[in-house]
Amino acid sequence: MSSPTPSVLLKDIRKAYGATVALDGVTLELKPGEVHALLGENGAGKTTLMKTLFGLTQPDTGHIEIGGVTTTIASPRDARSAGIGMVTQHFSLVKTMTVGENLALAEAGLIRVDLAKARRIAQEAADRYGLEVPADAVVAGLPVALQQRVEILKALAAGCRYLILDEPTAVLGPKDVDSLLAVVERLRDQESMSVVLISHKMKEIERVADRVSVLRRGAVVASTTAKGMTTRELVSLMVGSDAAESVERIAQATRGDAAVALALRDVSVKRQLGGLDDVTLEVREGEILGVAGVSGNGQSELVDVLSGTLRPDYGQLEVAGKVVVDPSPFALLAAGVGILGEDRHASAVHHLPVVENLVLDQLRSVTRLGHLDRAAMAERCETAIKEFEIKATPSQHLGTLSGGNMQKVLLARLFGRSPNAAIVSQPTRGLDIASTRYVRSLIAGARDKGTAVVLVSEDLDEVLELADRVAVMYRGRVAGILHANEVTRERLGELMAGVSA
């Protein structure tokens, strides 16, 4: 008779990246025969915690116990030897190889690759777990759902007893989601496996999770049984409803007579996964319109449409009451719309100095007779460094700056030219407390000077603090819009869960 699978305990795990604390003394237990869901806003520490368990990152302090025995997991190899497998959104398959070859590669020693054994293991695992995949098919020719099955088979064939699934349904259609969740249930019920499910999709957690733990700012703030919990209750756990967590608001009453600076009218974006469905929004001069919602409900598509990188299938975009016929990024910049994307690294050129990054989207304003006016650029840079409190020199390469100072450079580029409207997405993600406060004060200051700001953020404290009105996205639609004086975490939670307030 085989011995029962022991539980896994992550004990007092702490991990910091410079001044940013990703995990702050997290303790979490994974039990056999259980689906343990991890909830939390982006940046809460969920993926970092699981990367620690899988050996992809090492904790600063704390340790991991398996069956009560402290175990060193210094690499994915150590994790697999301990029976831990992990499947992420970004597959690690060699796409030019067959399914069998990928499995053989995962099991290969230093001497030889046994393809016949790999095919046999693949077929046995497919039969046992209900994960049918053609062993001789080239991975590149398989649909995404089958590629994900290959990743799961790799973990199971290696003797996995603890399976980590990080946002496993983010790339799947509805039918494939149902199939995957059925596999998760089978692994738990028939194999007594421990499955960790990281997901923003409440309905999936409601269906399969036995326990749920919530991370907020790198700490576990709740851990409880999930059975019988509704989507509304799960969202409330994630966003928090404790009055003691209220934030100091700097929002203000929206002036109803202010002109509409930016608007979407009946905008739809048709996509197999996600999209927008008949979205109408307005943001007025001197107003911050916050956009909230569980990740994956249309916020990214909304930002892409507003920034001109995604053209809607239906509807129109208006700036200052005029329809933008060709809403490209260049046309929107010319119309006075500024953009701060969620990925600051993709919004800048790291090997260029600060002085050049500050003018990347406005080169015409510093060009004279076909040449860059270096004197004008230097003067503008010195002014920005002083005004936005950037700790850098004009000639310093942007890539050498801290995250907070890099964000200040991008905000200086955005607000330094006083845009009529600004799209700001995840502006403080990954920043320390001091930088976060300063960035938020810049956004509020731009609003006070008359700029219309669309603030898209998964940090509800940020939305509650800054937004004069909050639009909540649910399944690509605007579920509701609340004014600052009527916003509560409970009402936001209801709308984020698709429950009419």
| Residues 6 or more apart in contact with residue 243 via CB below 8 angstroms | none
> What's the token pair of residue 48?
């970092």
Cα–Cα distance for residue pair 440/233, rounded to 1 Å: 30
* Cα(495)–Cα(121) distance, integer angstroms: 47
Ordered strands of the 288-292 beta sheet: 337-340, 421-425, 452-456, 288-292, 469-474, 477-483
Tell me, letter by letter, the H, E, C secondary structure of 410-431: HHHHHHCCCCCEEEEECCCCCC
Domains with residue ranges and CATH for the chain: 8-243 (3.40.50.300), 244-336+419-501 (3.40.50.300), 345-418 (no CATH)
Q: What is the pLDDT of residue 241?
A: 53
Mean pLDDT of the chain: 84
- Let me know how long the chain is: 501
Q: pLDDT per residue over 311-325, tens digit each?
A: 999 999 999 999 998
Give the model's confidence band at 246: pLDDT under 50 very low, under 70 low, under 90 confident, else very high: very low
- For the ranges 94-98, 109-113, 285-289, the maximum mean pLDDT occurs at 285-289
Please check the confidence at residue 211 and state whether its pLDDT lies above 90: yes
* Contact criterion met (CB below 8 Å) for 319 and 332: yes
pTM above 0.85, yes or no: no
Q: Could you give the count of Cα atoms lying within 13 Å of 479 in the half-sphere of its Cβ?
A: 23
pLDDT single digits (tens) 66-79: 988 999 999 998 99
Q: Per-residue pLDDT for 110 more than 80?
A: no
Tell me the C-alpha to C-alpha distance, in Å, between residue 451 and each of 196, 280, 361: 44, 20, 18
Query: What's the pLDDT score for residue 91?
Result: 78
Residue 348 scores a pLDDT above 70 = yes
pLDDT at position 249 is 58
pLDDT the model gives residue 78: 92
> Is 70 exceeded by the pLDDT of residue 305?
yes
Provide the pLDDT confidence category of residue 109 given band limits of 50, 70 and 90.
low
Cβ 205 vs Cβ 212: under 8 Å: yes
- Whether residue 154 is predicted with pLDDT greater than 70 in this model: the reply is yes
Q: Which residue, 426, 446, 422, 451, is CA-closest to 436? A: 426
Residue 245: pLDDT band (50, 70, 90) is: very low
- According to the model, what pLDDT value does residue 11 have? 94
Q: How does residue 113 score in pLDDT terms, banded at 50, 70 and 90?
A: low
Q: CA 177 to CA 169: how far, in whole Å? A: 6
| Local confidence band at 264 (pLDDT 50, 70, 90 cut-offs) | very high
Q: Which residues pair with 138 in a beta bridge?
A: 98
**Residue 290 scores a pLDDT above 90:** yes
The answer to whether the beta carbons of residues 104 and 122 sit under 8 Å apart is: no
Kindly tell me if the per-residue pLDDT of 53 is higher than 70. yes
Residue 407: both structure tokens together: 């964000």
**DSSP secondary structure letters along 192-255:** --EEEEE-S-HHHHHHH-SEEEEEETTEEEEEEE-TT--HHHHHHHHH---GGG----------
